[in-house]
């Protein structure tokens, strides 16, 4: 029996690295199920597994408990979901205000999910080399919203290498996940941070101004300067599963902070009088876009939780 870290998973094969640095191709036998969630991939990048060496194939027999994971819905219609990565120390949401557009709805859902799973998260605004005046204005506004809440924000260009050193120092020694829409530059960024990988990168379709899912499965790479980085496929939307409505406000840090000033201690910040959150939105202390995202997540149909 050996123990190792899953660094790549294609669905049928899993690449596992053991502590001596050797790589083992493994399969799974039978079924691994996660309680309550139907997943297309029972084992994901970042999982620590035990496997038996066999002369035909190495077989994974056990998954160690995960400290956290990020999950997305597989397709728009299916009810099953896909674990993007597990046991993450640090997440970076790659955002572009244009080419393609990342909406605040999407950002806020990702941030809420990261809070729910206890994963520290930074916002990385990529492609600053390409922004025109109105894009720059948009970027400035977004940055101020998220910095005020307490999220670290970085402006970078994976194309020119601008501010890559700051990112590297944030990533050093940790298991880092990059996420974001298709086409925002996740793979390009990793190519810059860890030369030699030559990850495939895609073209942005000018008509849709969106990416084409160049990266199709998650993969973890070792960083020369210490730590790991996980490239992931672009995600279109982000579900609110595993988040109960009663605790939704916990995942919006600035809403949670002010909510102890609400008149009712079970205030949902939606219809109640003397709600400190609503007052804060009115005077501009809480961004309207954030409140809109909160409202959307509070009112969405249980069945449509995945978006």
Residues of this chain that bind ligand GTP (CB under 6 A): 126-127, 129-130, 157-159, 182-188, 201-204, 211, 213-215, 233-234
For the CB of residue 46, give the shortest distance to ligand GTP in the complex, in Å.
18
In terms of CB distance, is 126 or 259 closer to ligand GTP?
A: 126
| Other beta carbons less than 10 A from residue 197's beta carbon | 15
Cβ proximity to Mg ion: between 204 and 267 the closer is: 204
Cα dihedral 271→275→280→286 (10° resolution): -60
Three-state SS letters, 82-134: EEEEECCCEEEEEECCCCCCCCHHHHHHHHHHHHHCCCCEEEEECCHHHCCHH
277 binds, among Mg ion, Zn ion, ligand GTP, none (CB under 5 to 8 A by kind): Zn ion
Interacting partner of 44 out of ligand GTP, Mg ion, Zn ion, none (Cβ under 5 to 8 A depending on kind): none
Confirm if 204 and 127 have CB atoms less than 8 A apart.
no
Report the b/e string of 147-162 with b at 16+ CB within 10 A.
Answer: eebebebbbbbbeeeb
Question: Within a 10 A sphere around the Cβ of 104, how many other Cβ atoms?
Answer: 18
Identify which range of 13-21, 190-198, 214-222, 260-268 contacts Mg ion by CB under 5 A. Answer: 214-222
Q: Least distance from C-beta 192 to ligand GTP, angstroms?
A: 9
> Which window, 34-42, 66-74, 166-174, 270-278, contacts Zn ion (CB under 5 A)?
270-278
Q: 262, 286, 287, 297: which one contacts Zn ion (CB under 5 A)?
A: 262
Half-sphere exposure of 195 (CA within 13 A, CB side): 2
**Count, residues near Zn ion per rule CB under 5 A:** 5
Regarding 286 and contact with Zn ion (CB under 5 A), the answer is no
Distance CA 271, CA 262 (A): 12
Q: Contact, 99 vs 131, CB < 8 A?
A: no
Q: Is 215 in the site for Mg ion (CB under 5 A)?
A: yes
**Cβ-based nearer residue to ligand GTP, 4 or 239:** 239
Alpha-helical regions (H) of the chain:
104-116, 133-149, 164-171, 186-193, 253-258, 276-282, 288-299
Task: Show the site string, 207-246: x = touches Zn ion by CB under 5 A, - = not.
Answer: ----------------------------------------
**Residue 58 contacts which entry, ligand GTP, Zn ion, Mg ion, none (Cβ below 5-8 A, type-dependent):** none
**Min CB(97)–ligand GTP separation in Å:** 12
Is residue 290 at the binding interface for Zn ion, with CB under 5 A as the rule?
A: no
Which two structure tokens, joined as six digits, stand for 60? 């994974």
CB of 158 to Mg ion, least distance (A): 11
191 binds Mg ion (CB under 5 A): no
Q: Which stretch binds Mg ion (CB under 5 A): 142-150, 162-170, 207-215, 252-260?
A: 207-215
Q: CA dist 206 to 128, 129, 229, 276, Å?
A: 18, 17, 29, 44
Q: Token digits for 287?
A: 């961004």
Burial of residue 33 (number of CB atoms within 10 Å: 0-12, 13-18, 19+): exposed
Residue 53 in tokens: 């060496």
Please tell me whether residue 168 binds Zn ion under the rule CB under 5 A: no
275 makes contact, choosing from ligand GTP, Mg ion, Zn ion, none, with CB < 5 to 8 Å by partner type, with Zn ion
Phi, psi of 40 (to 5 degrees): -80, -25
Q: Which residues bind Mg ion (CB under 5 A)?
A: 186-187, 214-215
Q: Which residues bind Zn ion (CB under 5 A)?
A: 262, 267, 269, 275, 277
């Amino acid at each position: 029996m050996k123990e190792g870290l899953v660094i790549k998973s294609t669905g049928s094969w899993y690449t596992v690295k053991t502590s001596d640095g050797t790589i083992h191709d493994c399969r799974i036998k039978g079924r691994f199920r996660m309680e309550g969630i139907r997943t297309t991939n029972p084992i994901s990048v970042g999982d620590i597994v035990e496997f038996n060496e066999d002369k035909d194939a190495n077989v994974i027999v056990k998954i160690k408990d995960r400290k956290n994971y990020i999950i997305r819905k597989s397709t728009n219609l299916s009810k099953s979901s896909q674990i993007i990565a597990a046991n993450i120390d640090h997440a970076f949401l790659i955002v572009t205000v244009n080419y393609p557009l990342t909406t605040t709805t999407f950002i806020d859902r990702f941030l809420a999910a990261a809070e729910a799973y206890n994963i520290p998260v930074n916002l990385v605004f990529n492609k600053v080399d390409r922004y025109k005046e109105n894009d720059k204005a948009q970027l400035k506004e977004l940055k101020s919203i998220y910095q005020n809440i307490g999220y670290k924000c970085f402006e970078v260009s994976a194309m020119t290498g601008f501010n890559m050193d700051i990112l590297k120092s944030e990533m050093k020694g940790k298991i880092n996940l990059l996420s974001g829409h298709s086409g925002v530059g996740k793979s390009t960024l990793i190519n810059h941070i860890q030369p030699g990988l030559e990850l495939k990168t895609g073209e942005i379709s000018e008509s849709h101004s969106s990416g084409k899912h160049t990266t199709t499965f998650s993969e973890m790479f070792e960083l020369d300067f210490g730590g790991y980085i996980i490239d992931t496929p672009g995600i279109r939307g982000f579900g609110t599963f595993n988040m109960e409505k009663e605790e939704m406000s916990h995942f919006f840090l600035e809403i949670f902070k002010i909510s102890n000033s609400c008149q009712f201690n079970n205030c949902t910040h939606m219809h109640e009088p003397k709600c400190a959150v609503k007052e804060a939105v009115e005077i501009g202390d809480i961004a309207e876009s954030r409140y809109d995202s909160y409202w959307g997540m509070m009112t969405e149909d249980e069945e449509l939780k995945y978006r």
